[in-house]
Amino acid sequence: MIQGYDPRTGEPAGEPVPETADAEVDAIAGAAAAACGSWEQAGPGGRAEALEAVAAALDGAAAELVAAADTETALGPARLAGEVARTTGQLRHFAAVLADGGYADAVASPGGEGVPGLRRVNRPIGPVAVFAASNFPFAFSVAGNDTASALAAGCPVVVKAHEGHPRTSLLTARIVAGALAGAGAPAGTFAIVFGVGAGVRLLRHPAIAAAGFTGSARGGLALAAVCAQRPVPIPFFGELGSVNPVVILPGAAAARPADIAAGYAASLTLGVGQFCTNPGLLFVPGEHERLRSAVAEAIRASAGGPMLTARIHDSFSGAVAELGARPDVAELAEGQPGEGPWSATPAVFQVGLADFAAGLPGLAQERFGPVGLVITYRSVADLLPVLARLGGNLAGVVHADEASAADMDLARQVADVLARTVGRVVFNGWPTGVVVTHAQHHGGPWPASTAPAHTSVGAAAIRRWLVPVAYQDFPARLLPAELSRGSR
């Protein structure tokens, strides 16, 4: 049984949900395979309508969804209502992506004297397994971005629910399934399974053609290995851990220490620090005591809160204790404790650049929660080679004083190094807050993502679930609809 808990009390929240039995997982995967043809043939228009219907149904049930998720996650009604809106926005975003048509990448190379003509188009890869995340009970869970993009691509989806919010997952799944059926989607287009064993069985099922995952590096790498070791390996698109380095340049530190400190503390503690885009590493010029004082002050004023699960809380507490015990690391500030048994207290530590470099890769590992490491550097020339040694991250940030030519020149150098190890470089901002637009890239070199060319957020996320097929010398009447409608 999968039992949800109320993070504010640590007590069980609602009835447990049964784990999905092996035979049921097999039947669900088989039904997904059987739905492939009809779901593809629904065409971009039909699938867009179905996505809109799912969005409308979720919006209509927003109050109920928020209440269920608040009990299981303690993320609070405001954040959760916003997340439902983001989730339905994502579904509608992919309806727009379908209407745009560019996702099909339809292209024709006419033949000629002895040269065959070719028309190429993207087609759905097949049934997709989606592993839901703990920290976004809507936007990266049952009806989240992986599900929305895969359904849009024409792929049936089977979600493996996250153990952290089983009742929210079940409720969402019922709404999604009902809306899809109401919109005429074939049976088998969408289903949900519960339990780690069910998830692994699903991933090994011959009907599953690809998998999406958002979560920890440990879990993701284990599932990636399952995919790679199948008799027929399948692509695994995992968004794993990230520490998202933030570099404050001297001009910025001098010009706006209070703003930077406030922005940092807000980003670090947002959602009790439970974001893959959390700014885990803050590089500051060592001579700017004012900035470090401001950071300490902002952190002391920040509030903790209950974490999503006991396991996440245990892991966070361990990471903080480990940092605190290191002789090369000193505590800079601690925030206000939250309430309840799983509450995290924000904490920031500091270390010199040389000690940080000596402590790699351990000191740059992800610590999920509101804990940050402030690294003091003497010069950007010292900093650059250390930045280059960081593993792949989802995002990296540089703060510069735009009025300072020296800062802007340094910013270019820092951005150049960051752009080789992160998927998104932010200027004078913070890594948290990933907008859902066409130009978004939420990925990055390993281990931030297991598939560095792909994103799990934004329009391009649909590309993960598409494979090209070229048609050589085909009569127009035998071409699939996307190609017979014409192509560039």
Q: Which residues are catalytically annotated?
A: 239, 276
Residue 161 or 462: the one with the smaller Cβ distance to its own copies is 462
Q: How far is the CB of 312 from its own copies (least distance, A)?
A: 26
Q: Is 452 in the site for its own copies (CB under 8 A)?
A: yes
Does 108 help bind its own copies (rule: CB under 8 A)? Answer: yes
Q: How far is the CB of 436 from its own copies (least distance, A)?
A: 9
| Site size toward its own copies, by CB under 8 A | 65
Give the nearest distance from C-beta 468 to its own copies in angstroms.
5
Interface positions, 462-481, toward its own copies (CB under 8 A)? 463, 466-475, 477-478, 480
Residue from the set 402, 482, 484, 485 that interacts with its own copies by CB under 8 A: 402
Nearer to its own copies, 321 or 478 (CB): 478
Q: Which helix (H) or strand (E) segment is 190 a member of?
A: strand 190-193
Quote the least distance from Cβ 439 to its own copies, whole Å: 4
Residue 69 or 400: the one with the smaller Cβ distance to its own copies is: 400
Could you give the CA distance from residue 219 to residue 224 in angstroms, rounded to a whole number? Answer: 9
**Binding-site member from 9, 21, 30, 120 for its own copies (CB under 8 A):** 120
Give kind and range of the element (H or E) at residue 246.
strand 245-248
Q: How far is the CB of 30 from its own copies (least distance, A)?
A: 14
Nearest to residue 50, comparing CAs of 111, 97, 92?
Answer: 92
Comparison of 71 and 449: residue with beta carbon closer to its own copies: 449
SS (H, E, C) 336-397: ECCCCCCEECCEEEEEEHHHHHHCCCHHHCCCCCCEEEEEEECCHHHHHHHHHHCCCEEEEE
| Binding segment (CB under 8 A) for its own copies, from list 50-58, 307-315, 347-355, 419-427 | 419-427
Q: How far is the CB of 364 from its own copies (least distance, A)?
A: 14
User: Cα separation of 203 and 114, whole Å?
Assistant: 45
User: How far, in Å, CA of 373 to CA of 350, rounded?
Assistant: 5
As a whole number of angstroms, the distance between CA 142 and CA 194 comes to 11
Interface residue with its own copies, options 97, 243, 307, 415 (CB under 8 A): 415
Q: Which residues pair with 283 in a beta bridge?
A: 247, 375
Among the listed ranges 109-117, 127-135, 165-173, 239-247, the one in contact with its own copies (CB under 8 A) is 109-117
| Stretch near its own copies under the rule CB under 8 A, chosen from 170-178, 262-270, 311-319, 427-435 | 427-435
The span from the CA of 182 to the CA of 436, in Å, is 27
């951005």: which residue's tokens? 415
Closer residue to its own copies (CB): 200 or 408: 408
At 244, list the tokens. 């998202």
Query: Does 249 participate in binding its own copies (rule CB under 8 A)?
Result: no
Closest by Cα among 184, 134, 131, 124 to 156: 124
Q: Which is nearer to its own copies, 327 or 475 (CB)?
A: 475
Q: With respect to its own copies, which residue has the nearer C-beta, 112 or 327?
A: 112
CB atoms within 10 A of CB 41: 13
Residue 131 and residue 146: Cα distance in Å, rounded?
Answer: 9
The residues with which 214 forms a beta bridge, in sequence order, are: 239
Binding mask 380-399 for its own copies (x = CB under 8 A): -----------x--------
Name the residue nearer to its own copies (CB basis): 62 or 108. 108
DSSP 144: S
Interface residue with its own copies among 63, 99, 453, 481 (CB under 8 A) is 453
Stretch 189-228 residues interacting with its own copies (CB under 8 A): 228
Decide: is 270 part of the binding site for its own copies (CB under 8 A): no
Contacts with its own copies, 337-376, as mask; x by CB under 8 A:
----------------------------------------
According to DSSP, residue 105 is labeled: -
Per-residue string for binding with its own copies, 222-241, x by CB under 8 A?
------x---xxxx------
Distance from the Cα of residue 33 to its chain's centroid: 26
Stretch that binds its own copies, among 266-274, 327-335, 368-376, 458-466 (CB under 8 A): 458-466
Query: Rounded to an integer, what distance in angstroms lies between the CA atom of residue 56 and that of residue 66?
Result: 15
166 touching its own copies, by CB under 8 A: no
Examine residue 56 and tell whether it contacts its own copies (CB under 8 A). no
| Bridge partners (DSSP) listed for residue 361 | none
User: For residue 36, what are the CA distances in angstroms to 42, 155, 164?
Assistant: 10, 6, 30
Contact 57, 175 (CB under 8 A): yes
**Beta strand pairing status for 190-193 and 157-160?**
parallel
Q: CA-CA distance, 132 to 313, in Å (whole number)?
A: 19
Distance of CA 98 to the CA centre of its chain: 22
Q: How far apart are CA 40 and CA 49, in angstroms?
A: 13
Positions in the binding site for its own copies (CB under 8 A): 37, 107-109, 115-116, 118-120, 123, 125-126, 228, 232-235, 391, 402, 408, 411-412, 415-416, 419-420, 422-429, 433, 435, 437-441, 443, 445-447, 450-453, 455, 460, 463, 466-475, 477-478, 480
